[in-house]
Structure 1
């Protein structure tokens, strides 16, 4: 009987644990793990569609994190007698060539719901099919599996609360028996959640396996200047965010178990400074170094061994938010990337003002709470959830600039960028997404509520350090005499505000 060979195509699933696509590839006698650095994901690219614009597809922070993740995955595979073949090129050109080299019988991959990602899968499937090689897709990046939804994909609710309650009801019903199931629409799986898969035993490389190839340098992907900027650590950053499965599992251990921070997550999650006000699992979840099912398993274990409370529930609540947008993009597709969003709104007069947009990106709007968050993003690739909501609302609702420009800037800069979460949340804030309510944030109120002593603002805007908290949040209230007293001259040391906020 002839031996079988497979290709394990890694994408945003750079881990060995709970990896169904890898496990399926390991059913073969020989496995060639492969990652393609697609040139379409780097450099300036058109946004596409009506009213398109160019933007930098992948910034230095995420590119650094990705390269570190690939290096970690390669090391893990080598420790197990395998390797990771890395090639620069489009997957639809690279994978068929590698499949032919090792005479592969099939290729496995984790499917993704956004049009850009699914179109690459389709192109690969066509090219492989021409050579008689099967592409086997698996769904593995959400807490609830696609097949375990308690409704058909086309019937997934467009509001989070309705979605969450339906999934939670299915979980409770399943734990008590078969209640909550709705025939075929419930899928063939388990709404209560599938257990994480164990790490598979990785078969040896095929006899004709090609050389693994070197990982490119960061400067090759993003340019020398941006690479140097991303490597420069900023001690104001909340976390170093080292890429890779090893770092991901270390973060889970340190946050949940060593630091025992999970028990207070709900109370601290709106923090702005420090490593542990929130889990900060998102970079590893979004690059696939960490499985959401493995996080849920750790929460369950924590509840069994230490405490079950609102905070432990709330971390799972946030994982379901992440799920919600994944299923929304699977349902609505490219409509999420249109300026009018899934609601197809035409009643908003979105403006185009490059000067105002550039002031927003640079953290020079004259609104300290917005500026501090944007400067943190630029320096570190990260921003708190509270900061993201306020920065997005200011651009979309106070400036009325095209929200997609802001979302695309976050795509460039965020170390934890995920297309569904990023564009779904931006559309939500801009009023073209999953909520018909006005999602405009009162930035002044938010600043005083979540940064009461202006510690966060002063950390990222040291030019305002001498000001009392009230003025640090609203420096435009300073009289000429007070500006002289505190040594902060508006328009010189710190910008005048771009717009007058309500109540200013």
Structure 2
């Protein structure tokens, strides 16, 4: 195709697929398509980004490039600032329109999109943004939110274009090994592989084999690595669409109703679909109020914690050296695999916020860098919820010893990830700091030398945190502010599906 023919530029961001891709489908109907991915070095210098994210994205991009090439037009990759990249392309090619999915990313991408919108308006080029999932941009009536989510999920998935016309004279560029030279090394040997094919395989195995006891297996790290869907990174970067996952899940639910089975598939899939709904519910919070990436949702909580973290406590928590075995096992597993189940994520954040009394922002950034499935909209809402600063959620302080006893009673997960404790008897595995000296010697684990003692008494720290938070909640104006926050962000979902989905306290990851 000649370079003189007007082209439709499809800007790919967190939607790395050709299936159920509305911007791609609509652009292909309008004319020749130039699919573009922009590697933005400045984005990768932000404090929430890590090389493990890029490793997953890069694998998605390689597979997406193959899929687009098979349709006739290779993926075009450029590096630099989005406005400058778009300006250069528009200067050399007759771009009729830009198409993309609306993105609810971090504050940096929000500012970038505003700059892009301003440039395209000035250039007189329309920018068509489609909804990526159930999140609504602009004016929002929370009372109608669940209804519009359901309407979107019921719509037919967009089919990929049958073919794309090759645009001659456009250098496709290369997908770099790393998006910015300054990005630190970040080994994550246990992470999930990127790409749509891997996501489809994970979805199939969950709906056909692994997911039958999902609702029973999501809490303990012993069972969650296999019992959870493990779809969260594929949804976060758009290798799979939310709509196709919902529709495939519903077809499977209809099928299992007709199949006699000892496995409680119906309850499991009800619970799973509920969490798909919560996924969008939480992203909507950041879309509606972007400041919550940086500030307490409830401003009455300002001053509750010092935003400057205690370096000793932050380091002990971040490195899995707290002296509380399940906390350390979860952090070390997360460092190695890039994933941990929701209850354990909540416990990690709870320990940082309540027992160590750290402001949520720095722990949230640390976890963002570790989560391969990092989704800003979910992440910052959850970080604040588990820190007690939303104004609308119940205070939940996870007891690290009780969680250890409940979720890993024999200490199997602890011994896998905290090798210092492998020879510690079951009677002491959850509270090794209480071991008598002779037991420590027999186990080859001296507390304070081979494995740390806790920096604080967890029960006393929890009592003090509860008292501080309750005092803040009683301050003038806090309750009224909470009502305003609920009006803007609270869930309105009612009935059986909400019951099956549990509460937002047991939300992501999938």
**TM bucket normalised to smaller:** 0.7 to 0.9
Separation in 2, partners of 1:153, 1:266: 35
User: What's the offset of the Cα at 1:306?
Assistant: 2.0
Structure 1 runs of 4+ aligned residues shifted over 4 Å read 219-223
Other structure's SS at 2:382 match: helix
Asked if the contact 1:4–1:28 (Cα under 8 Å) also holds between the matched residues in 2, the reply is no
> Of 241, 248, 264, which aligns to 2:213?
264
Other structure's SS at 2:16 match: coil
User: What's the offset of the Cα at 1:123?
Assistant: 1.1
The 1:339–1:134 alpha-carbon spacing in structure 2 relative to 1, beyond 3 Å, is: closer
Separation in 2, partners of 1:319, 1:469: 37
Q: Does 1:348 align with 2:304?
A: yes
> Of 296, 302, 321, which aligns to 2:252?
302
> Of 164, 185, 189, which aligns to 1:226?
185
Other structure's SS at 1:309 match: helix
Asked if the contact 1:31–1:202 (Cα under 8 Å) also holds between the matched residues in 2, the reply is no
Separation in 1, partners of 2:20, 2:252: 19
TM-score, L = length of structure 2: 0.82
> Of 457, 461, 484, which aligns to 2:414?
457
Separation in 1, partners of 2:279, 2:310: 32
Other structure's SS at 2:226 match: coil
The residue number in structure 2 matching 1:280 is 230
User: What's the offset of the Cα at 1:434?
Assistant: 5.9
Q: Does 1:121 align with 2:141?
A: no
Q: How many residues end up aligned between the 2 structures?
A: 448
The residue number in structure 1 matching 2:405 is 448
The residue number in structure 1 matching 2:201 is 250
The residue number in structure 1 matching 2:176 is 216
> Of 35, 38, 58, which aligns to 1:67?
58
Asked if the contact 2:364–2:383 (Cα under 8 Å) also holds between the matched residues in 1, the reply is yes
**More deviation, 419-428/242-251:** 242-251
TM-score, L = length of structure 1: 0.83
Asked if the contact 1:342–1:432 (Cα under 8 Å) also holds between the matched residues in 2, the reply is yes
The residue number in structure 1 matching 2:92 is 101
Q: Does 1:156 align with 2:142?
A: yes
Separation in 1, partners of 2:286, 2:244: 23
Other structure's SS at 1:302 match: helix
User: What's the offset of the Cα at 1:347?
Assistant: 5.2
The 1:37–1:192 alpha-carbon spacing in structure 2 relative to 1, beyond 3 Å, is: closer
Separation in 1, partners of 2:5, 2:254: 45
Deviations 1:405-435 (A, max 9, x none): 0111111121000101111100000111263
The residue number in structure 2 matching 1:321 is 278
**More deviation, 432-441/419-428:** 432-441
Matched ranges for 1:41-190 at <5 A: 41-43=43-45, 45=46, 55=47, 57-114=48-105, 115-140=107-132, 142=133, 144=134, 146=136, 153-156=139-142, 167=146, 170=147, 190=151
Other structure's SS at 2:42 match: helix
Root-mean-square deviation (Å): 2.4
User: What's the offset of the Cα at 1:286?
Assistant: 0.3
The residue number in structure 2 matching 1:475 is 432
Asked if the contact 2:135–2:284 (Cα under 8 Å) also holds between the matched residues in 1, the reply is no
5+ unaligned residues in a row in structure 1: which ranges? 46-54, 158-162, 171-185
Other structure's SS at 1:408 match: helix
Asked if the contact 2:9–2:33 (Cα under 8 Å) also holds between the matched residues in 1, the reply is yes
